[in-house]
Amino acid sequence: MRVLIASSEIVPFAKTGGLADVTGSLPKALRRIGVEADCILPLYRTVGWERFPLEQSGPPVRVPLGHREETGVVMETDAGGGVRGYLVRNDRYFDREFYYGTKDGDYVDNCERFAFFCRAIMEWIARTGRSYDILHCNDWQTALAPAYVKTLYSHEAAFRSTGTVFTVHNLGYQGLFWNHDLPLTGLGWELFTPKGVEFYGKLNVLKAGLVFSDILTTVSDTYSREIQTPEYGHGLEGVLYERRADLYGILNGVDYDDWNPESDPLIAARYTRKDLSGKKVCRDDLLAEFGWAGPMPEPIIGVVGRFTAQKGFDLIEQIGEWLATQDVRVVILGTGERKYEEAMAEFGRRNPDRISLRFAFDNRLAHKIEAGADIYLMPSRYEPCGMNQIYSLKYGTVPVVRNTGGLADTVVDADGDPAGGTGFKFNGYDTGDLKDALSRAVAAYADKPRWEAIVKRGMEMDFSWDASAKRYVSVYEKALQKRGVRI
Ligand code: ADP
C-alpha cells in the first residue's frame, strides 16, 4: 500500500506542535510494518537547505488559483526511516518568518497559501504519473485535497481509486475565511451550502475535509466522542455526528527514539525506571537553567506549551496567587498569545522565588523540563490527544491533567485506581478542581515510596506507534473499500 501523508508541519522539517510530531513519526512507523509511506509539506524558510539536501521532483507544477495561475516546485529529500519527504516550494507563500502568522494574527492570505499547497499536491501527483492508494490529510491546511479528489480531480486516472483519510488534530482551528475566497479554492458555489463548505456565511476549509474524506479520524477515543457534542464541537458537532460511522479515534503514538530518558542526548543525564539517579541530575540542571540554585526539596512543576486558552493558561493565571503560596517551584516554557505571555510574565515578576519563565520555542529546554520536573501540569480546556503528558510519563514526571480528550485516555488517577495510577486528574474546568488535583499531587510527592511507585508505573506505560500504526492501516483499508478497491 502506498500512502502520502500531507500536513502543514512535519518533524524534522517544521514544527509548532504535536501535529508535526505525529505526521513525522507516523510514516516511519508505517514503513516499519511494510507500508510505503511518504510525507509532503510546504517548503518554509526555516526548513534549512543545509540540513536537508533538496532535489527537484518532477517538472514545476502549475496551480490554478481563481483566475490566476501560480507555479510551484516540489523538492524531495530523505525524511529518515526510509520515508521520502516532499516539500512544495513557492517562495511568495512560504519563504516567510513564520508558518501561519505573527503574534498579532494570521497571515491574511492563508486561504490562498494552503489552497495552493493542496492543489500543488494534486497537480504534482497527476502530472508526474505517481499514484498513491491513500492520501492522508491532516487539519484544515490540507483539508481541500480530499475535496479535490472527489470533485475537480475525480476524472484523473491518478485519483480514480485513491482513498482519502482525514485526521482532525484540533477542531479549534478550522480555516475560516470570507466567502469571497471560495473561487481561489476552485470549488464551485454549489458546494457553498451548509452540507458543503459553508459555515454561517463563511468558507470553512476544515469542513471540506470532514465532508469529502472517505474516512475521518481523530487523535484519541475520548476526543472522537467529545467532538460530536456542542461543548467540544466548535459548531461542527452536527457534521461529525452525521459522519460518526466513518469516524475513528486513534491515539497518537510517540517516537521514543526522540523522547526517551534512557537515550535522550538533550538532557543532563540518562536514566531508567530501575535507576532514577540521573533524574536527580536533570532536576538540578533544570533548576540551574531557570536561575535557581541550592537544595530544593519542594516539587518542581513544569509546563511547556502554546499560550492559548485551549491549554488552560487562563486557569493557571487565575490560580497564580494561590500557587505562589504553595511549597512548589513552577517552570514555564512557551510562546503564544500576548495576553497570556504578559500575565505569566507578571506572575513571575511578583514571585521570583516560585516561578521562572522562558518565552521561546526551544526543543532542548522542552526535553530538560520533561526530565527535570517532578510534576507536569496540563490543565487543558480541551485536548485532542496531547503529547507532553505522554512524554512526561516516560520521563517519570507525574502529569496533573484535566480529564478530557487524550489526557483522559492516557493518564490514570492515582487516587481513584486500585493499581495506584500514573498521575492526577480533575474534571471541571475550574480553579477549585485544579487546585484540588495539584494539592493531591503535592501531598503524594511528600510520600516518597508512593511517589516513586507512581513515577515508575508511568515510565512503564508504552504509547509507541506499534498499535496505532496498525489501526491506521485498518482505516486505510476501510477507505479503499469505500472507493470500491479490492484489498
Ligand atoms: P499542541 O496542541 O500544541 O500540538 P501537544 O501536547 O500535542 O500540543 O504537542 C506539543 C508539542 O510541541 C510537544 O512536542 C512539545 O514539547 C512541543 N512544544 C510546545 N511548545 C513548545 C515550546 N515553547 N518549546 C519547545 N517545544 C514546544
What distances in angstroms separate CA 318 from CA 314, 354, 443, one per listed residue?
6, 16, 21
Our measurement of the distance from residue 368's CA atom to the centroid of its chain's CA atoms, rounded to an integer in Å, reads 20
What distances in angstroms separate CA 374 from CA 127, 296, 317, one per listed residue?
54, 12, 21
What distances in angstroms separate CA 7 from CA 10, 100, 121, 169, 226, one per listed residue?
7, 13, 11, 11, 24
277-461 CATH fold: Rossmann fold (3.40.50)
- Residue 270, pLDDT score: 98
Ligand 1 within 6 A of CB of 333: yes
Ligand 1 within 6 A of CB of 138: no
Per DSSP, helices labelled H in 215-333 are 221-226, 237-242, 277-289, 313-318, 320-324
- Residue 316, pLDDT score: 96
**Matching residue, cell 500576548:** 338
Class of domain 2-253+466-482: alpha beta
Ligand 1 within 6 A of CB of 22: no
Residue 136 bridge partners (DSSP): 5, 165
Pocket test for ligand 1, best of 21, 218, 381, 395 (most atoms within 8 A of CB): 21
Among 35, 37, 33, 5, smallest CA distance to 20 is for 5
**By alpha-carbon position, which residue is closest to atom 22 of ligand 1?**
361
Q: Do domains 2-253+466-482 and 277-461 have the same CATH topology?
A: yes
The residue type found at 477 is: E
| Å from CA of 201 to ligand 1 middle | 33
Q: How many CA atoms lie within 13 A of 138 on its CB side?
A: 22
Ligand 1 within 6 A of CB of 341: no
**Residue 406 and residue 429 in contact, taking contact as beta carbons nearer than 8 Å:** no
Confidence band (pLDDT; 50, 70, 90) for 487? confident
Confidence band (pLDDT; 50, 70, 90) for 276? very high
- For the chain, the domains span 2-253+466-482, 277-461
Report the C-alpha gap between 270 and 284 in whole angstroms.
Answer: 13
Report the C-alpha gap between 227 and 236 in whole angstroms.
Answer: 8
Residue 376 bridge partners (DSSP): 302, 399
Q: Render pLDDT for 23-72 as a digit per residue (tens, 0 to 9).
A: 999 999 999 999 999 999 999 999 987 889 999 999 999 999 999 999 99
Report the C-alpha gap between 71 and 69 in whole angstroms.
Answer: 7
Report the C-alpha gap between 267 and 278 in whole angstroms.
Answer: 9
Ligand 1 within 6 A of CB of 24: no
What pairing do the DSSP bridges indicate for beta strands 68-80 and 61-65? antiparallel
| Å from CA of 29 to ligand 1 middle | 21
Ligand 1 within 6 A of CB of 400: no
- Residue 108, pLDDT score: 97
Ligand 1 within 6 A of CB of 115: no
- Residue 16, pLDDT score: 92
Report the C-alpha gap between 127 and 60 in whole angstroms.
Answer: 10
**Residue 120 and residue 63 in contact, taking contact as beta carbons nearer than 8 Å:** yes
List phi, psi (to 5°) of 353.
Answer: -85, -10
Q: What is the mean pLDDT of residues 3-25?
A: 96
- Residue 486, pLDDT score: 86
**Residue 64 and residue 30 in contact, taking contact as beta carbons nearer than 8 Å:** no
> By percentage, how much of the chain surpasses pLDDT 90?
95
Confidence band (pLDDT; 50, 70, 90) for 104? confident
Report the C-alpha gap between 174 and 180 in whole angstroms.
Answer: 17
∠ Cα 367 373 374 (to 5°): 140
Report the C-alpha gap between 168 and 152 in whole angstroms.
Answer: 23
Contacts of 294 (CB under 8 A, 6+ apart): none
Atom of ligand 1 nearest to the CA of 370: 16
- Residue 416, pLDDT score: 85
- Cell readout for 360 is 521561546
Q: Render pLDDT for 397-440 as a digit per residue (tens, 0 to 9).
A: 999 999 999 999 999 999 988 999 999 999 999 999 999 999 99
| Å from CA of 60 to ligand 1 middle | 34
Among 161, 87, 77, 99, smallest CA distance to 124 is for 87
Ligand 1 within 6 A of CB of 18: yes
pTM: 0.95
Ligand 1 within 6 A of CB of 251: no
| Å from CA of 76 to ligand 1 middle | 26
Ligand 1 within 6 A of CB of 85: no
Atom of ligand 1 nearest to the CA of 306: 20
Atom of ligand 1 nearest to the CA of 388: 6
- Residue 295, pLDDT score: 82
Pocket test for ligand 1, best of 9, 255, 303, 306 (most atoms within 8 A of CB): 306
- Residue 478, pLDDT score: 98
Atom of ligand 1 nearest to the CA of 252: 7
What b/e sequence results for 296-333 when a residue is b if at least 16 CB atoms lie within 10 Å of its CB, and e otherwise?
A: eeebbbbbbbbbbbbbbbbbbbbbbeebeebebbbbbb
- Residue 103, pLDDT score: 76
Atom of ligand 1 nearest to the CA of 387: 6
Atom of ligand 1 nearest to the CA of 333: 23
> Is the pLDDT assigned to residue 294 strictly greater than 80?
no
Among 344, 396, 336, smallest CA distance to 370 is for 396
| Å from CA of 70 to ligand 1 middle | 33
Q: What is the mean pLDDT of residues 455-461?
A: 98
CA torsion angle 148 150 153 159 (round to 10) = 110
Ligand 1 within 6 A of CB of 286: no
Atom of ligand 1 nearest to the CA of 358: 23
Q: Render pLDDT for 347-366 as a digit per residue (tens, 0 to 9).
A: 999 999 999 999 999 999 99
Cis-peptide into 384, omega within 30 deg: no
- Residue 68, pLDDT score: 95
List phi, psi (to 5°) of 192.
Answer: -85, 65
> By percentage, how much of the chain surpasses pLDDT 70?
100
Q: How far apart are the first and last CA of the chain?
A: 9
Confidence band (pLDDT; 50, 70, 90) for 293? confident
**Residue 178 and residue 203 in contact, taking contact as beta carbons nearer than 8 Å:** yes
Among 138, 121, 137, smallest CA distance to 43 is for 121
